[in-house]
Amino acid sequence: MDQPPTPFVSAAWLVEHLRDPDLAILDVRWALPDGADRDAFLASHIPGARFVDLDQELAGPPGTAGRHPLPAPQRFTQAMQAAGVSQVGRVVAYDGGSGAAARAWWLLRAAGHARAMVLDGGLPAWISAGGEVEAGEVAVEPGDFVAASFRGWVSADQTAEILEAGAVVLDARTRERYHGAPSPLDPRPGHIPGARNLPWSDAYQDRRVVAPKDLAGLVRSAAGTKKPAIAYCGSGVTACSLILALESGGFEDVLLYPGSWSEWAQDPSRPVDEGNAK
């Protein structure tokens, strides 16, 4: 099979296609609060994988637009070409379970790449399946992928307007942060008024995406009968993991608010609903 029908690939699929000449593999291990984990990559990674630094290559500099605003298309192009991504080849991104690989997937798709996927279960699933690993840097033939712009995202103002029109906006953070529990990651506690909570981690079990029927139940509990329109999180990273899971379950065209809470909450003119901290 050329490519699975969902944005996920299994470890078994990757074992079978590991040596395919048109396949680029991206190691996007990253987690809060430490950030990108290049040391873990150098110690052990899937053969042929190229490390991608989420903070430096999948995001722009932090500031008023949030902790992880969208990168400049030229910067993203350079990073993907250095990682061996071609315009028509396939791409598989993975992480260690933090959901970071979905950020690479989302950016590639938003820039027009039609064959980007994520390894379901990440590196732990690969190791459990008996996949081989290697250490050290990897020499990769540069790719020719070009990102001119990104689609599928909305600004803070657009998020507010879409909410006002009655659409469903999903907050992918933990329930505690959504309900106003203080966090050093958040400029202010709480959530965007009117947003519904669906933690991204609820869409995964043992690091693998849940079955479509279970995902549908989660969406129904959070959004009722409406289709989700926008997803956000703390800084636009794990919301990509929620969007990835939603798409695998048939909930397509959910937009990303990349500034997310790290942009919204630092603007004193934006309203905040603190709810009741659990």
Dihedral of the alpha carbons of 218, 221, 222, 223, in degrees to the nearest 10? 110
> What integer pLDDT is reported at residue 272 of this predicted model?
96
179-230 per-position pLDDT tens digit: 999 999 899 999 999 999 999 999 999 999 999 999 999 999 999 999 999 9
Q: What is the mean pLDDT of residues 223-245?
A: 97
Query: Tens of pLDDT along 34-48?
Result: 999 999 999 999 999
* Contact by Cβ (8 Å): 186, 174: no
Q: Identify the H or E element spanning 170.
A: strand 168-171
Q: What is the 3-state secondary structure (H, E, C) of 7-46?
A: CEECHHHHHHHCCCCCEEEEECCEECCCEECHHHHHHCEC
Task: Identify whether the C-beta of residue 195 lies closer than 8 Å to the C-beta of residue 163.
Answer: yes
Q: Provide the β-strand partners of residue 273.
A: 191
* Whole-number Å distance between alpha carbons of 149 and 133: 34
Instruction: Flag whether pLDDT at 164 surpasses 60.
Output: yes
Axis-axis angle for helices 238-248, 212-223 (nearest 10): 120
**Residue 277 scores a pLDDT above 50:** no
Model's pTM, two decimal places? Answer: 0.96
Look at residue 1 in the predicted model and tell me its pLDDT: 44
CATH ID of 8-128, from 3.40.250.10, 3.20.20.80, 2.60.40.2890, 1.10.3720.10: 3.40.250.10
HEC profile of 120-163: CCHHHHHHHCCCCCECCCCCCCCCCCCCCCCCCECCHHHHHHHH
Supply the pLDDT for residue 278: 36
59-77 pLDDT, tens per residue? 999 999 999 999 999 999 9
- d(CA 191, CA 262) in angstroms, rounded, equals 11
Q: Where are the domains of the chain?
A: 8-128, 156-264
Give, in order, the Cα–Cα distances in Å from 190 to each of 12, 62, 194, 217, 251: 41, 21, 11, 25, 26
Asked whether residue 114 carries a pLDDT value surpassing 70, the answer given is: yes
Distance CA 177, CA 135 (A): 37
Q: How confident is the model at residue 33 (pLDDT cuts 50, 70, 90)?
A: confident
Residues marked as catalytic: 233
Q: What is the pLDDT of residue 276?
A: 56
* Topology given in CATH for the domain delimited by 156-264: Oxidized Rhodanese; domain 1 (3.40.250)
Same fold, 8-128 and 156-264: yes
